[in-house]
Amino acid sequence: MRPTVDVAGFIDEQKVGGFQVRLLLTCAAVLFVDGFDTQAIGYVAPALIREWGIGRAALGPVFSAGLFGLMLGALVFGPLADRIGRKWIIVASTLAFAIGTLATVWVSDASGLLIVRLLTGFGLGGAMPNAISLTSEYSPRRRRATMVMTMFAGFSVGAALGGLLAAAMIPAYGWRSVFLLGGAAPLLLVPFLAARLPESVRFLALRGDAQVRVAALLARVAPKVVQPPGTVFAVHEESLPGLPVSQLLRAGRAPATLLLWVVFFMSLLDLYFLSNWLPTVLSDLGASVSLAAVIGAMLQIGGVVGTITLGRVIDRFSFRALALTYAVAAVAVAAIGVSTGSVALAGLAIFAAGFCIVGGQIAANALAAQFYPTAIRASGVGWCLGIGRVGSIVGPLVGGMLLAMHWSTGALFVTAAAPALVAAVACFILAQRRVA
């Protein structure tokens, strides 16, 4: 009998090496430009309102169009990657949102902006679930949440840097310069991804017809391990029949899948409500466009710190830690509404909200990837993100409606705390079910 190697078990036994670190950094670079391009519209919103002479509520549909594209991209490209692999979906998605972001430079009205952001969002939505899945599938189980969350910090860094760069670039070069930079960076990244990004070793092993490629990839994971000639590489999981999406609700996965969808919906509703409307709300309270962008960027800066801090905690305590994180997030979001009289207090409350909501969302990504088997992992993560994007569409629309109704800042943010509380309850139930 030929020796057989369980690919997942083999990776679990290895230390994290240079190959995995390079893969993590490559996927982080994809999410860095993804985060920059996703959040750019929120940072330029005050400048757009002034230049085009439009009402704040007019940008609500624009925000939501981009997020609708993100939803479609996640729902479509997740299952597609479970069929054809992660790598080329990441490459194609990156190229798509690079072109869409560059096209934004030539838009001259809200209608054109809505269409371009919809198409850009489609590419942005495809990259994220596959970067999460690819990183997860090369990570040992004991470090999986930490590695996925560290990789995903690239998104928060890109989003935060977008705010800081927007603060400097808009007064000097105009809002279009933000999209010019945001489109050029991923366009330059595409050839590197095509040449250097590896395919998922677990996907190849499960498919069963790429033994030579699997052996070569495992040799890069553990260069000192020599496999005997004729070794068979396998993943001891079912190759699930039918549409990958249908498997998300089968074999006892339905309750956990539905609870994960609640977590993602509520978390992304809050996240995109805050990231899209914070600069505008702060500007309305008297802050300059640049200062509003800087203070708003504290949301993503807090998210970076939260991601780095929470990774090892999530690896150890799973959904129990995530439930507590979202409970604290609810308090922090409510605190924003009563701290806007002080720049320092508002910045601190926004930082804390980012720490818990952005950090919590990234932890949810890692735990979702850990819950689903290889055959439906990209579908599972993609549909969690896709359902979550429905929340991210609702958040900006509701924010625009409440602002148009002249709700007070305090009432606005107390209301925004409720979704974080619901996410905390759903995570508590998942923890009781011992899902991951």
> Where residue 34 sits, what CATH number does that domain have?
1.20.1250.20
- Long-range (24+ apart) CB contacts under 8 A made by 206-212 are 206/235, 206/237, 206/239, 206/374, 206/375, 207/239, 208/234, 208/239
Count of domains for the chain = 1
Terminal CA-to-CA distance of the chain, rounded, Å? 35
Structure-model confidence comparison of residues 334 and 286, the more confident one: 334
221 pLDDT tier (thresholds 50, 70, 90): very high
pLDDT in the model for residue 199: 94
pLDDT tens digits, 318-340:
888 999 999 999 999 988 877 76
What's the whole-number mean pLDDT along residues 7-27? 93
Does 36 have pLDDT greater than 80? yes
Give me the residue label for tokens 């959904």.
319
pLDDT in the model for residue 298: 82
Q: Which domain covers residue 71, as residue numbers?
A: 4-234+243-433
Pairing of strands 4-6, 232-234: parallel
